[in-house]
Chains A and B, each alone.
Chain A
Amino acid sequence: QVHLQESGPGLVKPSQTLSLTCTVSGGSISSGTYYWSWIRQHPGKGLEWIGHIYYSGSTYYNASLKSRVTISVDTSKNQFSLRLSSVTAADTAVYYCGRDSRGMDAWGQGTTVTVSS
Protein backbone atom coordinates (compact mmCIF):
# COMPACT_ATOMS: atom_id res chain seq x y z
CA GLN A 1 0.00 0.00 0.00
CA VAL A 2 1.43 3.33 -1.02
CA HIS A 3 2.33 5.84 1.66
CA LEU A 4 3.09 9.52 1.17
CA GLN A 5 4.81 11.78 3.68
CA GLU A 6 5.34 15.52 3.47
CA SER A 7 8.39 17.15 5.00
CA GLY A 8 9.76 20.65 5.22
CA PRO A 9 9.87 23.75 7.40
CA GLY A 10 6.74 24.60 9.33
CA LEU A 11 7.59 28.29 9.44
CA VAL A 12 8.60 30.47 6.51
CA LYS A 13 9.28 34.20 6.51
CA PRO A 14 7.34 36.52 4.21
CA SER A 15 8.91 37.01 0.78
CA GLN A 16 10.92 33.79 1.12
CA THR A 17 10.39 30.50 -0.69
CA LEU A 18 8.36 27.66 0.78
CA SER A 19 9.91 24.26 0.02
CA LEU A 20 8.27 20.92 0.73
CA THR A 21 9.11 17.37 -0.24
CA CYS A 22 6.83 14.37 -0.52
CA THR A 23 8.42 10.96 -0.06
CA VAL A 24 6.57 8.04 -1.59
CA SER A 25 6.91 4.52 -0.24
CA GLY A 26 5.19 1.29 -1.17
CA GLY A 27 5.02 2.25 -4.82
CA SER A 28 7.14 3.78 -7.54
CA ILE A 29 6.72 7.33 -8.77
CA SER A 30 7.96 6.05 -12.12
CA SER A 31 5.07 3.59 -12.54
CA GLY A 32 3.55 5.92 -15.11
CA THR A 33 -0.01 5.55 -13.90
CA TYR A 34 -0.27 8.61 -11.73
CA TYR A 35 0.26 12.29 -11.45
CA TRP A 36 1.81 13.41 -8.19
CA SER A 37 -0.01 16.35 -6.72
CA TRP A 38 0.11 19.17 -4.21
CA ILE A 39 -3.08 20.47 -2.59
CA ARG A 40 -3.42 23.04 0.16
CA GLN A 41 -6.09 23.99 2.63
CA HIS A 42 -6.21 27.39 4.28
CA PRO A 43 -7.28 27.40 7.93
CA GLY A 44 -10.96 26.53 8.17
CA LYS A 45 -11.38 26.64 4.40
CA GLY A 46 -11.74 24.32 1.44
CA LEU A 47 -9.25 22.53 -0.77
CA GLU A 48 -7.10 24.26 -3.37
CA TRP A 49 -5.27 22.32 -6.06
CA ILE A 50 -1.74 23.70 -6.50
CA GLY A 51 -0.39 21.52 -9.27
CA HIS A 52 0.99 18.14 -10.21
CA ILE A 53 3.80 16.37 -12.01
CA TYR A 54 4.21 13.22 -14.04
CA TYR A 55 7.27 11.04 -13.50
CA SER A 56 8.66 12.31 -16.81
CA GLY A 57 8.66 15.85 -15.44
CA SER A 58 5.56 17.17 -17.20
CA THR A 59 3.81 19.67 -14.95
CA TYR A 60 0.50 21.47 -14.66
CA TYR A 61 -0.17 24.32 -12.25
CA ASN A 62 -3.07 26.28 -10.84
CA ALA A 63 -3.24 29.39 -13.01
CA SER A 64 -3.57 31.65 -9.99
CA LEU A 65 -0.29 30.34 -8.53
CA LYS A 66 1.62 29.51 -11.69
CA SER A 67 4.02 32.44 -11.53
CA ARG A 68 5.24 31.36 -8.08
CA VAL A 69 5.07 27.56 -8.17
CA THR A 70 7.57 24.94 -9.23
CA ILE A 71 6.98 21.21 -8.80
CA SER A 72 9.85 18.83 -9.48
CA VAL A 73 10.43 15.08 -9.25
CA ASP A 74 13.39 12.97 -8.21
CA THR A 75 12.65 9.43 -9.34
CA SER A 76 15.90 8.10 -7.86
CA LYS A 77 14.68 9.09 -4.40
CA ASN A 78 11.00 8.40 -5.13
CA GLN A 79 10.22 11.98 -4.11
CA PHE A 80 8.58 15.03 -5.55
CA SER A 81 8.83 18.58 -4.32
CA LEU A 82 7.00 21.88 -4.16
CA ARG A 83 8.56 25.33 -4.22
CA LEU A 84 6.38 28.39 -3.74
CA SER A 85 8.18 31.71 -3.99
CA SER A 86 7.48 35.15 -2.57
CA VAL A 87 5.18 33.83 0.12
CA THR A 88 2.83 35.98 2.17
CA ALA A 89 0.53 35.29 5.09
CA ALA A 90 -2.07 34.19 2.55
CA ASP A 91 0.06 31.12 1.86
CA THR A 92 -0.36 29.88 5.42
CA ALA A 93 -2.10 26.54 5.05
CA VAL A 94 -1.95 22.80 5.46
CA TYR A 95 -0.14 21.38 2.45
CA TYR A 96 -0.95 17.87 1.24
CA CYS A 97 0.79 15.74 -1.32
CA GLY A 98 -1.13 13.03 -3.12
CA ARG A 99 -1.33 10.51 -5.90
CA ASP A 100 -3.83 11.12 -8.67
CA SER A 101 -5.15 9.20 -11.62
CA ARG A 102 -8.96 9.16 -11.77
CA GLY A 103 -9.10 10.84 -8.38
CA MET A 104 -6.64 11.42 -5.58
CA ASP A 105 -6.66 7.99 -4.02
CA ALA A 106 -3.69 8.42 -1.71
CA TRP A 107 -2.80 11.41 0.43
CA GLY A 108 -0.09 12.38 2.82
CA GLN A 109 -1.12 13.36 6.33
CA GLY A 110 -0.52 17.02 5.55
CA THR A 111 1.95 19.50 6.93
CA THR A 112 1.14 22.92 8.34
CA VAL A 113 3.13 25.81 6.95
CA THR A 114 2.88 29.20 8.61
CA VAL A 115 4.18 32.33 6.93
CA SER A 116 5.26 34.79 9.57
CA SER A 117 8.23 36.93 10.48
Chain B
Amino acid sequence: EIVLTQSPATLSLSPGERATLSCRASQSVSIYLAWYQQKPGQAPRLLIFDASNRATGIPARFSGSGSGTDFTLTISSLEPEDFAVYYCQQRSNWPREPTFGGGTKVEIK
Protein backbone atom coordinates (compact mmCIF):
# COMPACT_ATOMS: atom_id res chain seq x y z
CA GLU B 1 0.00 0.00 0.00
CA ILE B 2 1.26 3.45 -0.91
CA VAL B 3 1.20 5.80 2.06
CA LEU B 4 0.86 9.54 1.58
CA THR B 5 2.20 11.90 4.23
CA GLN B 6 1.00 15.47 4.18
CA SER B 7 2.79 18.32 5.91
CA PRO B 8 2.35 20.42 7.81
CA ALA B 9 -0.73 19.16 9.60
CA THR B 10 -1.82 22.76 10.14
CA LEU B 11 -0.76 25.91 8.33
CA SER B 12 -1.62 29.25 9.93
CA LEU B 13 -1.59 32.09 7.44
CA SER B 14 -3.24 35.41 6.73
CA PRO B 15 -5.33 36.31 3.67
CA GLY B 16 -3.10 37.38 0.83
CA GLU B 17 -0.23 35.16 1.91
CA ARG B 18 1.16 32.26 -0.11
CA ALA B 19 0.39 28.73 1.05
CA THR B 20 2.66 25.80 0.28
CA LEU B 21 1.37 22.32 1.11
CA SER B 22 3.42 19.16 0.80
CA CYS B 23 2.45 15.58 0.01
CA ARG B 24 5.07 12.83 0.08
CA ALA B 25 4.47 9.28 -1.18
CA SER B 26 6.11 6.17 0.26
CA GLN B 27 6.98 5.10 -3.29
CA SER B 28 6.78 6.69 -6.70
CA VAL B 29 3.32 7.50 -8.00
CA SER B 30 4.64 9.15 -11.18
CA ILE B 31 2.33 12.11 -11.83
CA TYR B 32 -0.80 10.34 -10.66
CA LEU B 33 -1.68 12.58 -7.77
CA ALA B 34 -4.77 14.67 -7.13
CA TRP B 35 -5.57 17.43 -4.63
CA TYR B 36 -8.91 18.14 -3.00
CA GLN B 37 -10.28 20.94 -0.84
CA GLN B 38 -12.85 20.30 1.87
CA LYS B 39 -14.73 22.91 3.86
CA PRO B 40 -16.64 22.07 7.06
CA GLY B 41 -19.88 20.26 6.40
CA GLN B 42 -19.19 19.96 2.68
CA ALA B 43 -18.03 17.25 0.35
CA PRO B 44 -14.48 17.54 -0.96
CA ARG B 45 -13.86 19.36 -4.24
CA LEU B 46 -11.32 18.32 -6.84
CA LEU B 47 -8.68 21.00 -7.37
CA ILE B 48 -5.82 19.35 -9.24
CA PHE B 49 -5.41 16.08 -11.15
CA ASP B 50 -2.31 14.44 -12.60
CA ALA B 51 -0.14 16.53 -10.28
CA SER B 52 -0.45 19.85 -12.09
CA ASN B 53 -3.71 20.10 -14.01
CA ARG B 54 -6.41 22.34 -12.60
CA ALA B 55 -9.89 20.86 -12.57
CA THR B 56 -12.74 22.67 -14.27
CA GLY B 57 -13.58 25.98 -12.64
CA ILE B 58 -10.61 26.05 -10.26
CA PRO B 59 -9.01 29.50 -9.95
CA ALA B 60 -5.52 30.06 -11.27
CA ARG B 61 -4.18 30.86 -7.79
CA PHE B 62 -4.18 27.09 -7.17
CA SER B 63 -1.27 25.24 -8.71
CA GLY B 64 0.21 21.79 -8.30
CA SER B 65 3.68 20.50 -8.98
CA GLY B 66 5.86 17.48 -8.47
CA SER B 67 6.36 13.93 -9.64
CA GLY B 68 7.58 10.67 -8.24
CA THR B 69 7.31 10.93 -4.46
CA ASP B 70 7.21 14.68 -3.72
CA PHE B 71 4.32 16.97 -4.56
CA THR B 72 3.30 20.50 -3.72
CA LEU B 73 0.02 22.39 -3.79
CA THR B 74 0.52 26.14 -3.87
CA ILE B 75 -2.10 28.79 -3.29
CA SER B 76 -0.47 31.96 -4.53
CA SER B 77 -2.51 34.44 -2.51
CA LEU B 78 -5.02 33.16 0.01
CA GLU B 79 -8.59 34.31 -0.32
CA PRO B 80 -10.96 34.06 2.68
CA GLU B 81 -12.75 31.12 1.05
CA ASP B 82 -9.50 29.13 0.77
CA PHE B 83 -9.27 28.37 4.49
CA ALA B 84 -10.12 24.68 4.53
CA VAL B 85 -8.60 21.21 4.72
CA TYR B 86 -6.65 19.93 1.74
CA TYR B 87 -6.10 16.27 0.87
CA CYS B 88 -3.84 14.63 -1.65
CA GLN B 89 -4.75 11.32 -3.30
CA GLN B 90 -2.48 8.97 -5.18
CA ARG B 91 -3.83 7.11 -8.21
CA SER B 92 -0.77 5.31 -9.51
CA ASN B 93 -2.41 1.87 -9.62
CA TRP B 94 -5.69 3.17 -10.97
CA PRO B 95 -8.31 1.78 -10.89
CA ARG B 96 -6.90 -0.14 -7.94
CA GLU B 97 -6.82 1.42 -4.46
CA PRO B 98 -6.40 5.16 -4.74
CA THR B 99 -5.39 6.32 -1.28
CA PHE B 100 -5.59 9.65 0.52
CA GLY B 101 -3.15 11.56 2.64
CA GLY B 102 -4.10 12.64 6.14
CA GLY B 103 -4.81 16.24 5.19
CA THR B 104 -3.47 19.72 5.86
CA LYS B 105 -5.66 22.30 7.52
CA VAL B 106 -5.10 25.86 6.34
CA GLU B 107 -6.37 28.16 9.06
CA ILE B 108 -6.56 31.89 9.51
CA LYS B 109 -3.70 33.29 11.53
User: Majority SS of interface residues in chain A?
Assistant: strand
Tally of A interface residues using CB under 8 Å: 21
Task: From A46, A60, A100, A110, give the contact of B87 (CB < 8 A).
Answer: A46
A60 proximity list for chain B (CB < 8 A): 95-97
Tally of B interface residues using CB under 8 Å: 27
B49 proximity list for chain A (CB < 8 A): 102-103
Contact B100 A46, beta carbon cutoff 8 Å: yes
A54 proximity list for chain B (CB < 8 A): 95
B68 located at the interface, meaning its Cβ lies under 8 Å from any Cβ of chain A in the complex: no
The answer to whether residues A103 and B96 also contact, given A46-B101, A46-B102 and a CB cut-off of 8 A, is no
- Least distance between A8 CB and chain B CB atoms (Å): 16
A-B contact pairs, 9 of them (CB 8 A): A35-B95, A46-B87, A47-B38, A47-B103, A54-B95, A62-B97, A103-B36, A103-B91, A105-B55
